[in-house]
Structure 1
Amino acid sequence: MSIRLGINPLTWTNDDLPSLGADTPLEVCLSEGRQAGFVGFELGNKFPRTPDALSRALGAHELALVSGWYSSRLLERSIDEEIAALDDHLQLLKACGATVMVYCEVSRCVHGDQDMPVSRRPVMNDADWQRLTTGLDAVARHMADQGVEMAYHHHMGTVIESQADIERLMASTTQVRLLLDAGHLTYAGGDPVTIAERHADRISHVHCKDIRLAVMDNAINRDKSFLDAVLDGVFTVPGDGGIDFAALFAVLARKGYGKDTERWLVVEAEQDPSVADPLTYATLGYQNLSRLARDAGLIN
């Protein structure tokens, strides 16, 4: 198997709530992530957006580019418009060696609105589903032709959030591959182990965020926004919450995640860095993730 451990800069700075970690330089994120033990980073809003500059920034810390988030609007744009809109991002990932794109449809989304309860997230009708899934297959095919897989990120506050949404997405597409995010799926009331069992052959990327279940229950009961739940500390690093990563990784190992193609396990656990010290949690995340992955046979 060929699996590497990476991290997302959300531990240090937050794209959805830029005030979190606003004064933290990129160099601090990269140096502390490498110090914690990770060998790759996903992109964030402080990263350079040209191949040469990005490669230099990561290379200075012996880090690889894992991937980078893309906000799709296929419910608002044509397929050709979407392909044109994502091209710069696609070429950046491709030039810097990333083989997957974190891809999420954000039309009508509410996860970035601190005043909007996540329960008000958009729900698609049948025509929306047809338009979106047709578009996703076309865009995924275009990306794959250039050597980058679409890793679709189900996400709280968006049109594809729940386990039922994931099942319908998988049933309605043939080219789309899945980013399995244990934290988002648990928050949405789903079971990451079940999705891994059913769709392991289409999982191309894994985000390893844990959930503080009591905080999650409080956020749901009080009908809070996604960002307020983040500020409350709903997410944490693997092994520090209530998700059974041992069971999830056992399924991924049995199903051959990373067996034939290099894959990543990525700590993506947004917290308030003024409350949850980034280096402390990055180190804890690496230690727990590496132990859990090793025990499951995902890494040596």
Structure 2
Amino acid sequence: MSGPARIGSAPDSWGVWYADDPRQTPWERFLDEVAAAGYTRIELGPYGYLPTDPARLRDELGRRGLTMTAGTIFEHLHRPDSWDSTWKDVSAAASLTAAMGAEHLVVIPDFWRDPQTGEAIEDARLTDEQWPAYAERMNHLARRIRDEFGLRIQFHPHADTHVDTHENVERFLHETDPALVSLCLDTGHIAYCGGDSLKLIRDHPDRIGYVHLKQVDPGVVADVHDKGIGFGEAVRMGAMCEPPLGVPEMPPILEALAELDAEIFAIVEQDMYPCPADQPLPIAKRTLAYLRSCGPLR
């Protein structure tokens, strides 16, 4: 057993979804505030949001007592002829992540509907023919990321993507190579899509390599699904909420993670794009205090 999870936070908890958006928290303020909230570990966030020059980023983190746990990037390997464009984005993020001394790269599948408008842009489900092809491309991506950058792929199931529901997460795990691909278990997205994070941890302990801690408001989520609302609008409605106001319960999750035979980073995220500039810091402080009250964290 590796013991308690290693806690951190991410730009997402400061309302950051894009490399550059005037509605987002400026990166300098994010770094200042995440340190002020009491965190010592962060994720890279959208590639290009934080400085991409390794020496400068290393200096900015060091001056604030911060270290990097993982890079974060989207992929679209379920689409034909997608390798070159995916590799261009993923390899850039991987290079910077490795230069920061991190060991993980969180890879998120692209959306089947527009996250802002909710409009469907492709089929919501992969066919039986598409699944193995997608998995093989993911295995190939993970192998190259490992061999060229020394990083471990942590695949992040996400709302409004093809790997969303508990059933689809299970299928993804079945189709991909456990020696290459681990799961970034996002407790909020799993709950949003009707899944059970605790069951995934217990059923697949060897596939849990990384975690995003997040809660959802079940009332808002039920309304979202009933009306067929897209993820971006759901976030603006408050679907992702501050712990301990939502689900899943955090103490059982943290206890189960502590029992895994792995070093687990548990990164706090609360999707709230866009948000008022003064909103993230108080939430971050309260969330960290709450999570520490649930049990030991590192």
Asked whether the two chains share a fold, i.e. TM above 0.5, the reply is: yes
1:25 aligns to 2:30 (yes or no): no
Contact 2:109–2:158, Cα closer than 8 Å, also in 1: no
1:160 aligns to 2:160 (yes or no): no
Deviation at 1:192, TM superposition (A): 0.5
Q: Tell me the residue number matched to 1:132.
A: 134
1:268 aligns to 2:272 (yes or no): no
1:177 aligns to 2:167 (yes or no): no
Q: Tell me the residue number matched to 1:65.
A: 68
State the alpha-carbon separation in 1 of the partners of residues 137 and 234 from structure 2: 32
Q: Tell me the residue number matched to 1:256.
A: 261
Q: Tell me the residue number matched to 2:96.
A: 92
Q: Tell me the residue number matched to 1:210.
A: 215
Gaps of 5+ in 1: none
State the alpha-carbon separation in 2 of the partners of residues 123 and 82 from structure 1: 20
Secondary structure class of the residue paired with 2:90: helix
Q: Tell me the residue number matched to 2:237.
A: 232
Q: Percent identity, aligned pairs only?
A: 25
CA deviation digits over 1:78-114, x for unaligned, max 9? 55664454222211111111111110221x5325232
State the alpha-carbon separation in 2 of the partners of residues 117 and 137 from structure 1: 27
1:195 aligns to 2:195 (yes or no): no
Deviation at 1:238, TM superposition (A): 3.3
1:101 aligns to 2:105 (yes or no): yes
The one-letter code of the counterpart of 2:196 is D
State the alpha-carbon separation in 2 of the partners of residues 229 and 18 from structure 1: 22
Deviation at 1:275, TM superposition (A): 8.8
Secondary structure class of the residue paired with 1:94: helix
State the alpha-carbon separation in 2 of the partners of residues 281 and 266 from structure 1: 14
Indicate how the Cα distance of structure 1 residues 275 and 204 shifts in structure 2: closer, same or farther if over 3 A, else same.
Answer: same
Deviation at 1:208, TM superposition (A): 0.4
Candidates 185, 191, 195, aligned match of 1:186: 191
Indicate how the Cα distance of structure 1 residues 78 and 196 shifts in structure 2: closer, same or farther if over 3 A, else same.
Answer: same
Deviation at 1:276, TM superposition (A): 7.7
Contact 1:7–1:266, Cα closer than 8 Å, also in 2: yes
Gaps of 5+ in 2: none
TM-align CA RMSD: 2.4
Contact 1:72–1:105, Cα closer than 8 Å, also in 2: yes
Candidates 131, 142, 145, aligned match of 2:144: 142
Indicate how the Cα distance of structure 1 residues 143 and 17 shifts in structure 2: closer, same or farther if over 3 A, else same.
Answer: closer
Secondary structure class of the residue paired with 1:68: strand
Deviation at 1:143, TM superposition (A): 1.7
Indicate how the Cα distance of structure 1 residues 257 and 290 shifts in structure 2: closer, same or farther if over 3 A, else same.
Answer: farther
Q: Tell me the residue number matched to 1:122.
A: 124
Task: State the TM-score, normalizing by the size of structure 2.
Answer: 0.88
State the alpha-carbon separation in 2 of the partners of residues 199 and 276 from structure 1: 39
Task: State the TM-score, normalizing by the size of structure 1.
Answer: 0.88
